[in-house]
Structure 1
Amino acid sequence: MNYEGIETLPLQEYTEKAYLDYSMYVILDRALPHLGDGLKPVQRRIVYAMSELGLSAASKHKKSARTVGDVLGKFHPHGDSACYEAMVLMAQPFSYRYTLVDGQGNWGSQDDPKSFAAMRYTESRLTAYAKVLLQELGQGTVDWQPNFDGTLEEPVVLPARLPNILLNGGSGIAVGMATDIPPHNLREVVNACIHLLDHPNATVGELCQFVPAPDLPTEAEIITPAADFISLYEKGAGSFKMRARYEMEDGDIVITALPYQTSGSKVLEQIAGQMQAKKLPLVEDLRDESDHEQPVRLVIVPRSNRVDVDMLMSHLFASTDLERSYRVNMNMIGTDGRPQVKDLRQILVEWLAFRRQTVTRRLQWRLDKVEKRLHLLEGLLIAFLNLDEVIHIIRTEDEPKAALIARFDLTEVQADYILDTKLRQLARLEEMKIRGEQDELQKEREELLSLLGSDKKLTSLIRKELKEDAKLYGDDRRSPLKERAAAQALDETALTPSEPITVVVSKMGWIRAAKGHDIDPTSLSYKQGDDFLTAARGRSNQSVVLLDSSGRTYSLPANGLPSARGQGEPLTGKLSPPVGATFPFALMGKDSDQYLLSSAEGYGFLCSLGDMQSRNKSGKVTLTAGDAVILPPLLARGAQTDSLALVSSSGYLLVIGLQDLPVLSKGKGNKLISLKKGGLGIADETLEFAAILSQGETLVLHAGKKFKAIKGSELEEYRGERAKRGKLLPKGFQNVTGLEISGNQ
Structure 2
Amino acid sequence: MTDLTYGPDADETIELKTFTEKAYLDYSMYVILDRALPHVGDGLKPVQRRIVYAMSELGLKSTAKFKKSARTVGDVIGKFHPHGDGAAYEAMVLMAQPFSYRYPLVDGQGNWGSPDNPKSFAAMRYTEARLGAYAEALLGEVGQGTVDWLPNFDGTLEEPKVLPAQVPNVLLNGTTGIAVGMATDIPPHNLREVVNATVHLLENPKSTVEELCELLPGPDMPTDAEIITPKQDLLKIYKTGRGSLRMRAVWRIEDGDIVVTALPYQTSGEKVLEQIAAQMQAKKLPMVADLRDESDHESPTRLVIVPKSNRIDTDQLMNHLCASTDLERTYRVNMNMIGIDGRPQVKSLDRLLGEWLEFRTETVKRRLNHRLKKVEERLLRLAALMIVFLNVDEVIRIIREEDHPKPILKERFNLVEMQAEYILDTKLRQLARLEEMKIREEQEALEKERDKLQLTLGSERRLKTLIRKELEAAAKTYGDDRRANIVERGEAQAFNESDLLSSDPVTVVLSEKGWIRAAKGHEIDPAALSYKAGDSFKYAARGKSNQSVVLLDSTGRSYALAAHTLPSARGQGEPVTGRLNPPSGATIDGLFMGEEKQQILVASDAGYGFVTTLADMYTKNTKGKNLLTLPTAARVLPPVPLENVNNAMLVAISNEGRMLVFPVSDLPELARGKGNKIMNIPAARAQSREEFMVAVTVLQPTDKLVVYAGKRKTIIKSADLEHYVGERGRRGNKLPRGFQSVSGVDVQS
Give the 5 Å matches for 1:100-499.
100-273=105-278, 285-301=290-306, 308-387=313-392, 411-488=416-493, 491-493=496-498, 496-499=501-504
Matched to 1:169, the amino acid is G
Matched to 1:431, the amino acid is E
CA gap of 1:322–1:403, structure 2 versus 1, over 3 A, is same
CA contact (8 A) 1:625 1:668 kept: no
SS at match of 2:523: coil
Normalised to the residue count of structure 1, the TM-score between the two structures is 0.85
CA contact (8 A) 2:645 2:665 kept: no
Partner of 1:9: 14
Structure 1 unmatched runs, 5+: 676-682
SS at match of 1:141: coil
Which deviates more from structure 2 when the two are superposed, residues 405-414 or residues 349-358? 405-414
Matched to 2:479, the amino acid is G
SS at match of 1:380: helix
Name the CA distance, whole Å, in 1 between partners of 2:600 and 2:495: 27
Q: Deviations over 1:537-565 (max 9, x none)?
A: 11233220123455543211223334556
Give the one of 72, 79, 82 matched to 1:77.
82
Partner of 2:644: 638
CA contact (8 A) 2:99 2:223 kept: yes
User: Alpha-carbon deviation of 1:392?
Assistant: 6.0
Name the CA distance, whole Å, in 2 between partners of 1:380 and 1:714: 125
Partner of 1:726: 735
The percent of aligned pairs where both chains have the same amino acid is 63
CA contact (8 A) 2:660 2:679 kept: no
Q: How many residues align?
A: 733
SS at match of 2:13: coil
CA gap of 1:669–1:329, structure 2 versus 1, over 3 A, is closer
User: Alpha-carbon deviation of 1:101?
Assistant: 1.0
Give the one of 24, 42, 59 matched to 1:37.
42
User: Alpha-carbon deviation of 1:77?
Assistant: 0.3
Whether 1:96 aligns to 2:101 is: yes
Give the one of 23, 48, 51 matched to 1:46.
51
Which deviates more from structure 2 when the two are superposed, residues 378-387 or residues 21-30? 378-387
SS at match of 1:373: helix
Which deviates more from structure 2 when the two are superposed, residues 348-357 or residues 2-11? 2-11
Name the CA distance, whole Å, in 2 between partners of 1:392 and 1:686: 139
CA contact (8 A) 2:546 2:564 kept: yes
SS at match of 1:133: helix
Partner of 1:57: 62
CA contact (8 A) 1:282 1:497 kept: no
Matched to 2:184, the amino acid is T
Matched to 2:450, the amino acid is R
User: Alpha-carbon deviation of 1:100?
Assistant: 0.6
Matched to 1:187, the amino acid is R
CA gap of 1:703–1:51, structure 2 versus 1, over 3 A, is same
Matched to 2:735, the amino acid is G
SS at match of 1:9: strand
CA gap of 1:132–1:567, structure 2 versus 1, over 3 A, is farther
Name the CA distance, whole Å, in 1 between partners of 2:56 and 2:530: 84
Name the CA distance, whole Å, in 1 between partners of 2:594 and 2:228: 37
Name the CA distance, whole Å, in 2 between partners of 1:185 and 1:519: 66
CA gap of 1:429–1:620, structure 2 versus 1, over 3 A, is closer
Q: Deviations over 1:581-602 (max 9, x none)?
A: 4546421123343344567888
Which deviates more from structure 2 when the two are superposed, residues 209-218 or residues 290-299? 290-299
Q: Deviations over 1:500-548 (max 9, x none)?
A: 2222334554433344323444666667886655321112332201234
User: Alpha-carbon deviation of 1:311?
Assistant: 4.7
CA gap of 1:544–1:18, structure 2 versus 1, over 3 A, is same
Partner of 1:678: none
Matched to 1:85, the amino acid is E
SS at match of 1:113: coil
SS at match of 1:219: coil
Name the CA distance, whole Å, in 2 between partners of 1:132 and 1:4: 54
SS at match of 1:90: helix
Name the CA distance, whole Å, in 1 between partners of 2:674 and 2:103: 69
SS at match of 2:144: coil
Normalised to the residue count of structure 2, the TM-score between the two structures is 0.85
CA gap of 1:727–1:346, structure 2 versus 1, over 3 A, is same
Name the CA distance, whole Å, in 2 between partners of 1:443 and 1:264: 59
Name the CA distance, whole Å, in 1 between partners of 2:29 and 2:389: 60
CA contact (8 A) 1:600 1:686 kept: yes
Matched to 1:694, the amino acid is Q
CA gap of 1:137–1:717, structure 2 versus 1, over 3 A, is closer
Name the CA distance, whole Å, in 2 between partners of 1:181 and 1:102: 23
Name the CA distance, whole Å, in 1 between partners of 2:296 and 2:570: 46
Name the CA distance, whole Å, in 1 between partners of 2:337 and 2:605: 78
SS at match of 2:245: strand
Matched to 2:66, the amino acid is H
User: Alpha-carbon deviation of 1:252?
Assistant: 4.2
CA contact (8 A) 1:642 1:692 kept: yes
User: Alpha-carbon deviation of 1:82?
Assistant: 1.4
Name the CA distance, whole Å, in 1 between partners of 2:472 and 2:170: 18
Matched to 1:636, the amino acid is L
Which deviates more from structure 2 when the two are superposed, residues 378-387 or residues 125-134? 378-387
User: Alpha-carbon deviation of 1:617?
Assistant: 1.4
Name the CA distance, whole Å, in 2 between partners of 1:438 and 1:671: 108
Name the CA distance, whole Å, in 1 between partners of 2:718 and 2:82: 104
Name the CA distance, whole Å, in 1 between partners of 2:435 and 2:389: 8
Name the CA distance, whole Å, in 2 between partners of 1:600 and 1:230: 59
Which deviates more from structure 2 when the two are superposed, residues 616-625 or residues 163-172? 616-625
SS at match of 1:209: helix
CA gap of 1:32–1:634, structure 2 versus 1, over 3 A, is closer
CA contact (8 A) 1:282 1:496 kept: no
User: Alpha-carbon deviation of 1:453?
Assistant: 2.8
CA contact (8 A) 2:704 2:716 kept: yes
